[in-house]
Amino acid sequence: MSALHEIQNAERVTCTRLILVLTPEQIDNVRIVMVRTRNPLNVGASARAMSNFGFLNLSVVQPYDAAFREARSAVDAEPVLTAAVEFEDVAHAVADCSLVVGTTGGGSRHTLEPIQRLEAGAELIRHHLQSGGKVAMLFGSEKVGLSNDDLNHCHLLLRIPTRSEHLSMNLGQSVAICLYELVRDAEMVKAAPLGPRLATVEERERFLAVLLHALSLSNYFPLGAEHTTEQRLRRLLRHIPVTQRELQEWLGLIRQIVWKLESSHSKASHPRE
């Protein structure tokens, strides 16, 4: 066998190992969410990188329409782009996911969540996928990245370690590097035993709505601080590793409190004659 054939065979084995780091089901549980992207070349390059590594679930939030239409003709990216699902906001795009990951160049930007290096964050994502959860990875617009409102949906923030003089990377390159990091080093990743499913973003939001209603009935909110309190509670709830079953039990308790409070308010508004 020639040296060239040996190299080619080694590359084939390496590629096979990369793809097998995550099972097809785990790969299918990863959703790439592109938020307000504008350049068709970047959109097409991102979709092609997804196809390279077997990630086929793409969602787009408020895409620049012309760019999205033009990107559909990108070489080898048509199936991913054609199947892409369009959303009006990030909340709906990640509603059924139990882990939402944002990407950022970091720098001087202030974030409420600590920013993890890509290699550390990828390990957390893999373990979450191995437990059966769904993951959304958010990539922002080429000019400003993800907004603070977008980042408020994220449980985890990632950055690709670049030099401080040039922090940001091209969108398509960023997607490719992040996905490669997810599927490399198969021998270093041990499968975690399947446990109870963690609550999704949508389930947490439903619980938060009932909790906020209970707090409103109890006159908990300081005047003018409703929005700040809601954001603080949402952030606290994001970091509680609560399962779907546990959240349902808590939801039942809070609904009972709401019923009691509403009954008390009703009696106070309609006293007996």
Per-residue pLDDT tens digits for 217-251: 888 877 777 778 888 888 888 778 888 888 888 88
Q: pLDDT at position 136, please?
A: 96
Domain boundaries, the chain: 21-188, 201-269
Query: Could you read off the pLDDT of 172-208 as tens digits, one per residue?
Result: 999 999 999 998 864 444 444 556 778 888 888 888 8
70 Cβ partners below 8 Å, 6+ apart?
40
Q: What pLDDT shows up at residue 138? A: 96
What is the model's pLDDT at position 180?
92
Please report the pLDDT score of residue 31 as a whole number.
97
pLDDT of residue 63: 85
* pLDDT value for 18: 46
The residue with tokens 């700040």 is 228
Task: Beginning with the edge strand found earlier in the chain, give each strand of the sheet holding 30-35 in spatial order.
Answer: 85-87, 58-61, 30-35, 135-139, 99-103, 156-159, 115-117
pLDDT at 179: 94
Residue 241: predicted pLDDT: 80
Q: What is the CATH number of domain 21-188?
A: 3.40.1280.10
pTM, whole model, 2 decimals?
0.72
So what's the pLDDT on residue 110?
Answer: 60
Chain centre to alpha carbon of residue 253? 28
Inter-residue contact 140 to 32 (CB < 8 Å): no
DSSP H or E run through 217: helix 201-217
Predicted local confidence at residue 184, as pLDDT: 81
Neighbours of 104 (CB within 10 A): 23
Query: What stretches in the chain show pLDDT beneath 70?
Result: 1-20, 66-75, 106-112, 185-195, 265, 267-273
Residue 186 has what pLDDT? 43
Count CB neighbours of 26 within 10 A: 22
The pLDDT value recorded for residue 14 is 45
